[in-house]
Amino acid sequence: MYKRVLAWIGSHAPPGSRRWWAALVPAAIVVYLFGTTVYVQSQSTYYRVVMDGRPLGYVAGQETVGDAVALAERNASREYGFPVRLANPPAVEQIITHERYETLSLQALAERLQAAGDFLTRATVLVVDGQEVAALPSKEAAQSVLDELKARYARRLEASVEGGRLDVRRVTIQQSIRLEERDDVPADRVRDAVDVLAQLMGGKQAQRVHVVRAGESPWTIASAHGMTVAELLGANPGVDPQRLQPGEELRLNVPEPWISFESEEVLTVTERIPFATRREYDANLDAGKQRVKQEGEYGEKQITYALRRRDGRIVEQRKVEEQVTRQPVDRILVIGTKPVAGVSTGRLIWPLRGRITSGYGPRWGAMHTGIDIDGATGQAVRAADGGTVVSAGWDGGYGYAVQIRHDSGLYTFYAHMSRIAVDVGDAVAQGQVIGYVGSTGRSTGSHLHFEVRRCTSPGCAVPPLGFLP
Ligand SMILES: [Zn+2]
């Protein structure tokens, strides 16, 4: 190099002065070597990288810092799974010094930036009633959480119905919901849809104050608010559970849903329609016997209700349609009426056909305990139903009288007869002749005095017309 410099100076020197110039060359070289070169080698330039007031290290070139920030952001984006940027870009100070510092490589600085840095990202913040509840990577993810919450609410309602079909037509969220897209959301606050869904399903702990009333115990208070006694006492460390005073205030941690739903539903239920029993009477079947001619069958109807519910509680229920899908079938019972001695049919017949000349009720200041049926002396008097003769003979003012006990616990009583045709203990069939019309005892003319009784004495008499066809 020395020779080349001499050659360059020599070739550019004016002619005739060559020797004079040549003497200056060594001096210039001495200045160059001991001045400029020595000076450069002892003073070095570094760049100090500082983040949030904390030094991260030194680099040799300023452009390394920008490259390292870009690399740190790329690496962090890969780890988060979405693009992020450094919230707090590092400050760079130029330092010129005689000292020697160890410098960081691009990769090493990027690692330090990633470890010390806070990252921001563009995300969608879910705001419920003005309160920021969660941040998600995208509007679609946030919307999918809301949709899934509604779908789960609907599925839970639909699964709760037994013996019917519930169709949830519409689910609305009662709180005001906003999805705000922001580009300055801390990256570590952003969570995926599955996480946010779990958070919102779990509910939040709300603080409430309960004022103790007389007669309450920690157990009754805790169980009334869905807490355990341990949870209640844990939330109220200064309270002595043995000495709870009325008026004392307790803090309650009550789980409260983040989201409240209102739903419109259509509920269709199938209900049974009961069948009726129809009685038919058969004169060829013995009294006391019966048979089923036709089994009854339940009918079915579909009832449709419109429901409105808030958080699972029904707040409105309206019947909108009722449709019979199957008519019930009557049960038909055939009852025998063929008279059998000693057997009651349960239905009375007229003991004598004739005009009623005096009804049941007060008469002449006394009680007429039966009905008088007009008849001619000697006309047959028939048993109103099958049964057993419990009295037959003279009965004071009633004259010749007969009383029959029936299976249902009823008694029939026949009086003023001219003659009796049965004896005590006889089993008589419905329609069997038990005596003949007369005017014996306290009677003003020939007729039958007929009574229906609940026991054997006249005091048990009841109005007979209700029993007669
Ligand atoms: Zn009478």
Domain boundaries, the chain: 2-42, 45-117, 125-202, 204-256, 261-336, 356-467
Distance 375 CA to ligand 1 centre (A): 13
Report pLDDT for 16: 47
Distance 434 CA to ligand 1 centre (A): 18
Distance 429 CA to ligand 1 centre (A): 24
Distance 133 CA to ligand 1 centre (A): 92
Distance 442 CA to ligand 1 centre (A): 9
Report pLDDT for 257: 80
Report pLDDT for 20: 52
On whether the CB atoms of residues 336 and 429 are closer than 8 A, the answer is no
Report pLDDT for 25: 58
* Tens of each residue's pLDDT in the chain, 469 residues: 444 444 444 444 444 445 555 655 555 555 555 555 545 557 889 999 999 999 999 999 999 999 999 999 999 999 999 999 999 999 999 999 998 999 999 999 999 999 999 999 999 999 999 999 999 999 999 999 999 999 999 998 888 888 789 999 999 999 999 999 999 999 999 999 999 998 888 777 777 888 898 888 888 888 887 778 888 888 888 888 888 888 888 888 777 788 899 999 999 999 999 999 999 999 899 988 899 999 999 999 999 999 999 988 899 999 999 999 999 999 999 999 888 998 998 889 999 999 999 999 988 888 899 999 999 999 999 999 999 999 999 999 999 999 999 998 999 999 999 999 999 999 999 999 999 999 999 998 999 999 999 999 999 999 999 999 9
Report pLDDT for 19: 57
Report pLDDT for 115: 93
CATH topology (fold) of 261-336: Resuscitation-promoting factor rpfb fold (2.20.230)
The rounded distance, in Å, linking the Cα atoms of 344 and 408 is 8
The rounded distance, in Å, linking the Cα atoms of 174 and 177 is 9
Q: What is the pTM of this model?
A: 0.55
Distance 384 CA to ligand 1 centre (A): 17
The rounded distance, in Å, linking the Cα atoms of 91 and 110 is 14
CATH topology (fold) of 356-467: Glucose Permease (Domain IIA) (2.70.70)
CATH topology (fold) of 204-256: Membrane-bound Lytic Murein Transglycosylase D; Chain A (3.10.350)
Report pLDDT for 311: 85
Distance 238 CA to ligand 1 centre (A): 90
Q: H helices within 228-383, ranges in order?
A: 229-235
The rounded distance, in Å, linking the Cα atoms of 447 and 110 is 128
Q: How many residues does the chain have?
A: 469
Distance 344 CA to ligand 1 centre (A): 25
Could you identify the residue written with the tokens 């305990």? Answer: 369
Spell out which residues have Cβ within 5 A of ligand 1, the ion: 372, 449
Distance 449 CA to ligand 1 centre (A): 4
Report pLDDT for 275: 96
The rounded distance, in Å, linking the Cα atoms of 171 and 287 is 65
Distance 347 CA to ligand 1 centre (A): 22
Q: With H, G, I as helix, E, B as strand and everything else as coil, classify residue 246.
A: coil
Q: Would you say the CATH fold of 356-467 matches that of 261-336?
A: no
Distance 369 CA to ligand 1 centre (A): 7
Q: Which of 422, 390, 386, 433 is nearest to 406 (CA)?
A: 386
The rounded distance, in Å, linking the Cα atoms of 151 and 145 is 10
On whether the CB atoms of residues 287 and 337 are closer than 8 A, the answer is yes
Q: Which of 141, 228, 252 is nearest to 193 (CA)?
A: 141
- Which residues fall within 8 angstroms of residue 392, CB to CB, at 6 or more apart? 401, 402, 403, 420, 422, 423, 424, 426, 434
Report pLDDT for 179: 96
Report pLDDT for 17: 47
